[in-house]
Structure 1
Amino acid sequence: MSSEDQASTRAWIIHPDLTREERRHAAEYALAEAESLAVALPGLEVVGSEIVRLAKPVPATLLGSGKIEEVKARLDAAEVELVLVDGPVTPVQQRNLEKKWGVKLLDRTGVILEIFSDRARTREGVLQVEMAALSYQRTRLVRAWTHLERQRGGLGFVGGPGETQIEADRRAIDEQLVRLRRQLERVVKTRELHRAARAKVPFPIVALVGYTNAGKSTLFNRLTGASVLAKDMLFATLDPTMRRVELEEGPEIILSDTVGFISDLPTQLVAAFRATLEEVLEADLVLHVRDIAHPETEEQAQDVNDILQDLGLDEEVPVLEIWNKIDLVDPEKRAVLEGRAEREEDTLAISAVTGEGLDRLLALITDRLSGMRFEAELDLGFADGRKRAWLYEQNVVQEEAQTETGQHLRVLWTPVQEARFRRL
C-alpha cells in the first residue's frame, strides 16, 4: 500500500461508556484523549467520533444489535475504513463487529501498540514493542504476521503488509517470542553495562515523569538544550533520553526524559517499556510534571502516582510536583494556583514554553540534591559478599579494611542508596 493510500485511511472513534462502572475520567475527556491517540497514528484521517453509552457489554458484539445498526449507518455515510474502539475488545467481538460493519477494527491496546511501534527508536524499544504486540495478538490469529520482519514503522494493523488476512499458529508466535527474548537479554546486558558505567559517575539522576503530553520533553529541551521530539502529541517520547546538566551552584546531574503515562495503559505495555521506566527507579530525584491547565489534571496526576507505585518506586526517593503550562491558565485561577504551589512543599508552578519559573526549579533541584550524599561506616561479615559487591557497583566505597570477622567500609552514599542497601 502506498503512502498516499495509507494517508487516506478514514477512521471513526468510539468510546464505550459503561454507565454502571466507576471511572476516574469523564467520558468526554476520555474521548478527547482517544482522538489525540488517533492523531498520533500516522496515515489516519479521523472523520468522526462518538460516545456510546452501555449498561453492560454484549459478550459477542460489545454493542447491542440496535446500536450496531445505528453506528453502521454513520460509518457507511462517512465511508469509514477503520474503527478505533477506546477500550478492550475481545477477539470474538472484533471479528463480529468487523463483519457487521465491513471495516477493520482496533481496540485501545492495538492503537497504543501501533503508536509505540512507530515511535520506538532504540533496539530495546523495538524488541519490546514486538514482544508486546505478539503477546497481544497471540489470541487474535485472524491477523497477519508479515510485519514481524519489519525493523521499524507500524505493526501492520492499520495498513501495509499486515493488511492481508493470513493464518498464523501459536507455535510460530511462541518461537518468535523466544527469539525476541534472547535478543532482548543481550540488549539488556549491554544496557546494564551502560548503567553500571553511569553509576561510577558520581552525578545524581533526575527523572522527568508525567502524564503523556504534560510537557516533559519541552522542559527537558529547555533545561538541556537538546532537541528531543516535543510535539503536542501523545507518546511523543518513547525511549529514554539522558543528558548531563550543570547546575550553577550544585552538582552536575543526569536528566532523564521518559515515556508519558496514560490512563488504562494495558499491563503488557507497561512491562514492554519497563526499560524506559527503570531510569525512574534508578533516580535520586523525580520531577512529576503536570499539565496544570488540563481540566482533568488531578485525575492524570493520580494515574501517574498509581503507575509509579505499581513500578515499585522507593518511598525514599523525593518527588517534586512541577505544575507546567501555568501560562495557559486564566489570570484569576493562575493566582490561586501559584499561591497554592508556594504554600505546598516540593511544588512549583512553571511554564516550559515561556521559561517562567525555571530558575526557581533549578534552585529547588540544587537544594534537594545538595548535601544528599553523606558518609557512613559499615561492618560486613565474610558471608556478605553480595552486599559488598552491590556497594562497589554503586561506586560508594571510599575505604575498606579487613577485620577479623569480615570488612569495615567507609561509604559515601545517598539516603536512597542506604535504604536500598538495608533491603538487600
Structure 2
Amino acid sequence: MSNHPPVSRELFDEVMVPNYSPSAVIPVRGEGSRVWDQQGKEYIDFAGGIAVNCLGHCHPALVGALKEQGEKLWHLSNVMTNEPALRLAKKLVDNTFAEKVYFANSGAESNEAALKLARRWALEVHGEHKTQIIAFKQGFHGRTFFTVTVGGQAAYSDGFGPKPGDVVHAEYNNLESVKALISEKTCAIVMEPLQGEGGIISPTDEFVKGVRELCDQHNALLVFDEVQTGIGRTGDLYAYMGLGVTPDILTTAKALGGGFPIGAMLTTTEIAKHLKIGTHGSTYGGNPLACAVAEAAFDTVKDSAVLAGVSQKAAIYNEGLNAINDKYHVFKEIRGKGLLIGGVLSDDYQGKAKDFLIAAMEEGVMTLVAGASVVRFAPSLVIPDEDIQEGLARFERAVAKVVNA
C-alpha cells in the first residue's frame, strides 16, 4: 500500500466529472454493517450502497467466491459460455417464474434489454403498430437514454435532445390513469413492484393485480423492474412473489452481486426467442468473475432463515423509527416493505431529507434519501440486531441535531 500518493476529497473535484457531489467522508474499509473512513472513524451502514450490499461488507462467502474464481478465469467474452454463468442462470430459473436469463452489468442495462425485447416481441408477434410503452411518474429505471426516458422523472431525461418515442407515463397506484393510456398499440407496461427512488411507495393489491389484467386484455407484456426490490430486499426472494402477480419479464441487479457489478433479465422461453443471435449483446455480461460472486450471494440470501430475518429486522427498524418520531415528530409516515424503508418527512421538514443524511453521517450512521422529502434505509439483509439498535441511537442524535438547529 505504501507507494500511493495521498487521496483527499479535493482530488475528486480535480479529476472527476462533476455529476456527483460525494460526501467528504472517504471510506477505506468495511466489515459486516460497519465501515471505517480514512481517519479511522466508524460508521454503521444503513445505506447498503443503495440496496446493493445485501450481505454487508466483505462477507466471507463473497470474498471466498471472488478469491477462488479470481485464481481461475475472469473473462472470455460471449463467443464462449462459462460454468459460473450457467450455474447462476440455472438457479435463477429454478427459483423464479423464468425459463431464460440474459446477463448484463447493471440495472440500467438489464432494463435496456427488457425494453428492447418487449419492442422486438411486439413487432414480430403483433406488428409495427404495437410500440407504446407505459411507465409511471416518479419511476426510475436507470440512466441510459432509453431507460431514463421510460423513468418518470423529467429532470433526469430532459436536456439531451430528442428522446426515444412512444413512451407515456401513468400515475402509480392509479389504475384509471393506466386504463386511459392503454390500447392495442401498447407493447409493455414497465413498473417497479415498489417505487424506490420515487419515495418508497408500495403498490396497492388492486393496482398491481389490475395492471396485470390490463396487460392480459391488451396483449401487452408486464415488465417488473426488481433492480432494487429483488434478492430478498422485501422479505421475498423477489417482490412479485409477495404480490401474487407474475410479470412476463423481470430485471434484477444491485443486490444480485452483493456489491460486484452484475445484472440480469429474466423471462419465458416464448418471449426470449425474439432476442435471437445478433439482436442484443454485452461484452462483459455473464463474465465468470461476476457470476461466481453472484452465485455465492444468491445461495446465501435465498436461505429461508435469511429471508425470514428480513421482516424481523424490519420490525426493529419500524419500532425504533416510530419511537424516535414520538419524541421529535419529523415523520408523517414510515413506509416500505422489508428492509426498504422510507421515513416520509412531515410538513415542517419538507425538502430537507439531505439535512438528515448529512447530520446522520456526522453522528456515524450512513443513510439515503428517496427524493427531497424521504429518508431511505436499505441496510444489509443480515445486519446484526445490535448494529440496528446502535445505528438508530446515532440516527436519533442526528434527528435531534436537525430539529434543534
Q: Same fold (TM over 0.5)?
A: no
Q: Which has the higher contact order (CA 8 A, sep 6+)?
A: 2
Which of these two proteins has the greater Rg computed from alpha carbons?
A: 1
Structure in which a larger fraction of residues adopt helix = 1
